[in-house]
Homo-oligomer: A and B are copies of this chain.
Amino acid sequence: MDLWYTEKHSDNVGITIKTTKTLFSGKSQYQQLDIVETLEFGRMMLLDGLVMVTERDEFIYHDMITHPALFTHPNPKKVLVIGGGDGGSIREIMKHPEVELAVLCEIDGLVIEKSIEYLPTMASAINGSNPRVKLHVDDGLAYIRDHQNEFDVILVDSTDPIGPAVGLFEENFYRLVFSALKDDGIMIAQSESPFYHADIQKSMYHNLRAVFPIVEMYQAFIPTYPSGFWSFAFSSKIYHPTKDFDHDRAKNRNFKTRYYNEELHRGAFMLPTFARDNIAE
């Protein structure tokens, strides 16, 4: 059966993906959740009709939202992930032996539940078997308001700044993250596509710079995201992502990574001119 999912990346362009099966389709309190089978990308999770992760290319997103911060911070013991209910970020964080505790704060319990059921390779660290992981089904804003000076690294693994995630792109939220971080803490947030979302980037980086002394954008290629060209914001109190990067620790890591490596760590911060221009003050 010729069944195609099409995600419009704007009114005038989209990606179209052949699907073979709907594994789950349901509505939570917050959003529509679909998990489908595809021939090209394996299983694919959608929230409100937008691709969140696919089995084939999730390794890129999850490598890049986690390892740059965890190899820059000299000793990340306590890490918070806001959003990220599929578990892929937590799985990568667990590869860092110095991490003693990773907390997942996801607003939508259905995302966690169905990821455990249908995306077990992503959710392997959030299925209850890992004593270094704690789950909170809660609003990220509410959670960090109650936590001061506690985390070494906070990852904002959010959806786009529409729907439930809109508050996660505002200055007020970044101030709360700043307070929840220790004095040498680092925040990473996904920051949309430099090709399609120049306006969102401009406003987001402006908000970040109002709060953090060090703010740098870095890039990754993610084929199933709009334009394939994606970005992350590295915001930090004292550590710089390339100047303070411990190349040897990254090189001598005892796990394999299919996207991240110690060379690419530096290259990811070397941006195309138009992307730098998006966030120039």
Residues of A whose CB lies within 8 Å of any CB of B are 1-8, 10-22, 25, 32, 34, 36, 38-41, 46, 49, 57, 60, 195, 219, 221, 223, 227-229, 256-261, 263-264, 266-274, 276-277
Scoring A1, A19, A256, A259 by chain B CB atoms within 10 A of each residue's CB, the highest score goes to A1
Contact of B5 with A6 in the complex, beta carbons under 8 Å: no
SS class, residues of chain A in contact with chain B: mixed
| A229 partner, pick from B6, B34, B195, B228, beta carbons under 8 A | B228
Contact of B11 with A21 in the complex, beta carbons under 8 Å: no
Contact of B1 with A13 in the complex, beta carbons under 8 Å: no
Contact of B32 with A12 in the complex, beta carbons under 8 Å: no
Which chain B residue has the least Cβ–Cβ distance from A274? B258
Q: Could you jot down 20 A-B contacts, CB within 8 Å?
A: A1-B46, A3-B36, A11-B18, A13-B17, A14-B15, A15-B16, A57-B195, A60-B272, A221-B221, A221-B227, A221-B272, A258-B272, A258-B273, A260-B272, A261-B272, A261-B276, A264-B273, A267-B269, A267-B271, A270-B270
Known: A261-B273, A270-B270. 16 other contacts (CB 8 A): A2-B49, A3-B4, A3-B5, A4-B6, A10-B40, A12-B39, A13-B18, A13-B41, A195-B221, A219-B221, A221-B272, A259-B274, A260-B272, A264-B272, A266-B270, A267-B267
Which chain B residue has the least Cβ–Cβ distance from A229? B221
| A15 partner, pick from B4, B10, B15, B266, beta carbons under 8 A | B15
Chain B residues, Cβ within 8 Å of A274: 258-259
| A32 partner, pick from B1, B16, B259, beta carbons under 8 A | B1
Count of identical protomers in the assembly: 4
Chain B residues, Cβ within 8 Å of A13: 15-18, 38, 40-41
Contact of A1 with B25 in the complex, beta carbons under 8 Å: yes
Scoring A16, A32, A274 by chain B CB atoms within 10 A of each residue's CB, the highest score goes to A16
List the 4 closest pairs (A to B, CB-CB), nearest first: A228-B228, A267-B270, A267-B267, A12-B40
Chain B residues, Cβ within 8 Å of A256: 273
Scoring A32, A38, A271, A273 by chain B CB atoms within 10 A of each residue's CB, the highest score goes to A273
Interchain CA distance A268-B8 in the complex, whole Å: 29
Interchain CA distance A152-B115 in the complex, whole Å: 55
Which chain B residue has the least Cβ–Cβ distance from A7? B2
Closest-CB distance, A85 to chain B (whole angstroms): 17
Chain B residues, Cβ within 8 Å of A2: 5-8, 49
Interchain CA distance A49-B15 in the complex, whole Å: 17
Chain B residues, Cβ within 8 Å of A273: 256-261, 264
Contact of A3 with B19 in the complex, beta carbons under 8 Å: yes
